[in-house]
Structure 1
């Protein structure tokens, strides 16, 4: 194994641990906005994992997937935040 193999393994491990921490906060989060931020963070971590996988394989075919996941995460976060804002505004 080369040094880069260890770096890739460490990177995937850290991304996995990050996802576990974010999932814990997603379940435990005290408010809806905390959960929205957690979902956005998970989408960023998924895109990061795809980037690392593309680097491991040396393949550029994952670029479309990365852009799609990033855009879906961004639009989903905006939509959920807007819904939460309207809901809070309607309550009082």
Structure 2
């Protein structure tokens, strides 16, 4: 039962990643593209966690944590770039 649920959720997350990629490519503004990229890394974290549940190993949880930290820092950097036009002052 758990395996079928994991497969269904993985398929849904792959569809969500494809839709995020679509918004990243055709986004009319920079803000749309940055939000699509932010949502893509959140969905990829979820996909990695689902894969870790499927394989029953805690190694993927640590990888997802590292991606989450890098994604947060990159979102802050992109936001600062949009507000000020410069990241390093």
TM-score normalised to the size of structure 2? 0.89
Rg: which structure is higher?
1
Measured in 2, the distance between the counterparts of 1:85 and 1:72 equals 20
Q: What secondary structure is seen at the aligned counterpart in 2 of 1:62?
A: helix
- After TM superposition, the runs of 4+ consecutive aligned structure 1 residues lying more than 6 A away are none
Give the superposed CA RMSD.
0.9
Alignment gaps of 5+ in structure 2: none
Shift of 1:63: 2.3
Deviates further, 59-68 or 38-47: 59-68
In the TM superposition, what is the alpha-carbon distance from 1:64 to its structure 2 partner? Answer: 1.8
1:22 and 2:20 are equivalent in the alignment: yes
Task: Give the equivalent residue in structure 1 for 2:32.
Answer: 34
Question: Distance in 2 between the 1:62 and 1:29 partners?
Answer: 31
How many residue pairs get matched?
85
SS at match of 1:30: coil
Q: CA deviation at 1:58?
A: 1.1
2:60 to 52, 62, 71: 62
Larger relative contact order, structure 1 or 2 (CA cutoff 8 Å, min sep 6): 1
1-structure distance, mates of 2:75, 2:38: 6
Name 1:90's counterpart in structure 2: none
Aligned to 1:77: 75
